[in-house]
Structure 1
């Protein structure tokens, strides 16, 4: 008599949890020498750069807040932020997010990873979260390092805003931190584009370069005299819209639109990458990306986003022109001059006056008055007028303005010398150039409404 032996059911293998997959992918990323080198560079190099430049007599005055680097420690992280938005962040997102999937194609390790994790969805989520974590660590390193380098080298001193008003050290620190937080949105958009390129193009080098290429094209577009609606429809605008945080009141409209557009890009590109990843055939060991699929599933929807964003912005705000007109330039220059005049008065130990007493106005022309006073250009000429208490004569000063397409301008004093010429002013923190000599300003590109 034989006894029938019943075979015990073999339990089905469960997929690895997202948490374990995330830790595994994070360790893989941080074990790469180039990622370790980037982390080290982002946490050390900005501090050394800011500290070194702040001690120089020749400052990067062509960079926003560069002229204030030896006056306050909070100018350095803003100079670094401008550099990061133009160069560093596109390259960092390319190296991290643009390679997180393609590395498995180059090494031929997809089969091992799929057998170990047993879930396409969890692999994608783990890789996306790991790359996001590394990018946040890199951005945080640049922000903290540059701020520490500036404060240690120069000091925790007040910062001059883009309309001439003075930010106390605590306020300056808060605005600098907020500015760095705001650029996370376009950084996430580029990271999502990197994920999409890494999935769609496989081991192709173009997948690694895609975020940098997209960022370069958009930066070139921002330099052109495009309508405001087109400019705001590009996620790259959020890399420069943080300028509006340093005016009073803050110019939040363009910044919020730029952040919103960037987040929509981040969500859409990530969703497209997820869809392509789930539909991929991992049995093909020679997979090298699909150019047609990358175009139809990846590029075309993102280009469509630009069209949709343009239509929404154009319909909600009358922003079809350059956004730079005579009234805006005159109002911005008059406000900045009034604030800086009071600062100069304090530095020269003269009797204080209020902005209401000064009643500053500006009259600006472009191209010698032969062309319409609108749009960017270096041919703006403005005459600023003001009044002093108990003085019958009206004061006046001439400025030459170079206005860029994104609304930033540099005002260069053109006389009289005792008002806006170059001379050193003795301050408690050392000799500084006359604050009315040269200064940066910002024109809000969206339509503004007078206070009622």
Structure 2
């Protein structure tokens, strides 16, 4: 009888489901998390709707100049902002403090007694943090889409090469872009988990996701080799642009997503190993010290070096070269010229009839004709059926290190000299005055 009673009272670990529910309730009960959820589900929609009604648009942001034309531009403007600022901060608040808060409050002993399994505690905390992050990202995407569609409407979207995306196609690509952005967000969240475990009660863990995000953003602005650029965990925050060209530039996007997911898995595993090795009986525990540096930082540095080597060998790249700039500019111009033709109710013309081409020089031919910079000058030439003389237009290009460029019209005034064109229904934005484009950094472009 004594043996049976002893067996009946043996403590068993709490199930992962119950522990997950407990951790999720703890997270959602925090006022700052509730405020973030509310802000993510309301603020983007109000912002997009408000900006879409203004006379001045954020034309310096990708797709910002099209916020008057279609509701699908708003979610992409918000995505650009989220990848730069919002998502690093959100992952910091949620994942960067999920373990450290127990150290500051001294509640590890109570949690261990309640759950009776460090492994299940770790899994429950990770799943709870992941759930909240997914809710926050979904709020940003859904709110901005609803705000844009409600204020502007379900209109076609102009892609980065000037071609027109039907509303259904635009909706699918916007969804894919936000889905792809989840990968680097998860990588930042995993880095936050690692910092929260390794640094103990120190609030420094909260700073790791924003610091890593800022570092990768600075690196993307530098003239780094393409392999290094693709090997950084935040590249998917940039490479979603390739979804809005025809054909879609899928290879950089897939590489960026894969690298981010590998970072997320490795950082989470490292956090798990550190968590299992910590001494929960030490009330003065203040981080893993040198072991945190060895187990946490060095493997991630090794992963970066390995990623650079693999990408450099497996993916051929040429970066930004003159012939690719000329092709991208001529393609975008031809598509947008047809749009302007429709606006002005001129006789329809096809890209094949236009035979648009571009001749570009960098630094007036005094420097290497490749690489980023705001010193590209291009002359676009096209032909109209029945016209004896070819048309020409001048553009000044500012090309970023990631391949995105802004083409600014410099005449003639009848084509690209003014921001507005006069149509039968009133003044409308001139699509040829200033537009965005994208140069594929790789040698090959996936068809999609």
Instruction: State the TM bucket, normalised to the shorter chain.
Output: over 0.9
- Matched residue, 1:369: 365
CA distance, structure 2, for counterparts of residue 427 and residue 295 of structure 1: 64
C-alpha contact 1:39 1:138 (8 A) present in aligned 2: yes
Counterpart of 1:180 in 2: which secondary structure? helix
- Matched residue, 2:144: 146
Deviations 1:350-398 (A, max 9, x none): 1111111111111100001111110000000001111111112111111
C-alpha contact 1:71 1:154 (8 A) present in aligned 2: yes
Deviations 1:253-287 (A, max 9, x none): 10000000000000000000011111111011111
C-alpha contact 1:21 1:123 (8 A) present in aligned 2: yes
- Matched residue, 2:440: 444
Deviations 1:158-203 (A, max 9, x none): 1100000011111111111110001000000001101100111011
**TM-score w.r.t. length of structure 2:** 0.97
Counterpart of 2:381 in 1: which secondary structure? strand
1:406 aligns with 2:416: no
Change (3 A) 1:449 1:8: closer
Q: How much does 1:448 deviate?
A: 3.2
Change (3 A) 1:434 1:10: same
Alignment of structure 1 residues 212-231 onto 2, 5 Å: 212-231=210-229
Q: How much does 1:428 deviate?
A: 9.2
CA distance, structure 2, for counterparts of residue 132 and residue 249 of structure 1: 33
C-alpha contact 2:404 2:436 (8 A) present in aligned 1: yes
Change (3 A) 1:6 1:287: closer
1:198 aligns with 2:196: yes
Q: What is the aligned-residue RMSD (CA, Å)?
A: 1.5
Alignment of structure 1 residues 318-329 onto 2, 5 Å: 318-319=316-317, 323-329=319-325
Q: How much does 1:432 deviate?
A: 2.4
Alignment of structure 1 residues 13-412 onto 2, 5 Å: 13-319=11-317, 323-412=319-408
Q: How much does 1:8 deviate?
A: 3.6
- Return structure 1 stretches of 4+ with deviation > 6 angstroms: 427-430
Counterpart of 2:324 in 1: which secondary structure? helix
CA distance, structure 2, for counterparts of residue 7 and residue 139 of structure 1: 53
Identify the match of residue 6 of structure 2 among 5, 10, 22.
10
Counterpart of 1:417 in 2: which secondary structure? coil
C-alpha contact 1:421 1:434 (8 A) present in aligned 2: no
Deviations 1:39-98 (A, max 9, x none): 000000001111111111111111000111111111111000000000000000000000
CA distance, structure 1, for counterparts of residue 445 and residue 159 of structure 2: 22
Q: How much does 1:423 deviate?
A: 4.6
Change (3 A) 1:281 1:98: same
Which stretches in structure 1 are left out of the alignment for 5+ residues? none
Bigger shift: 167-176 or 88-97?
A: 167-176
CA distance, structure 2, for counterparts of residue 293 and residue 126 of structure 1: 24
Counterpart of 1:273 in 2: which secondary structure? helix
Q: How much does 1:425 deviate?
A: 3.3
C-alpha contact 2:278 2:288 (8 A) present in aligned 1: no
Q: Number of aligned pairs?
A: 445
Q: How much does 1:290 deviate?
A: 2.3
**TM-score w.r.t. length of structure 1:** 0.96
C-alpha contact 1:22 1:129 (8 A) present in aligned 2: yes
C-alpha contact 1:338 1:358 (8 A) present in aligned 2: yes
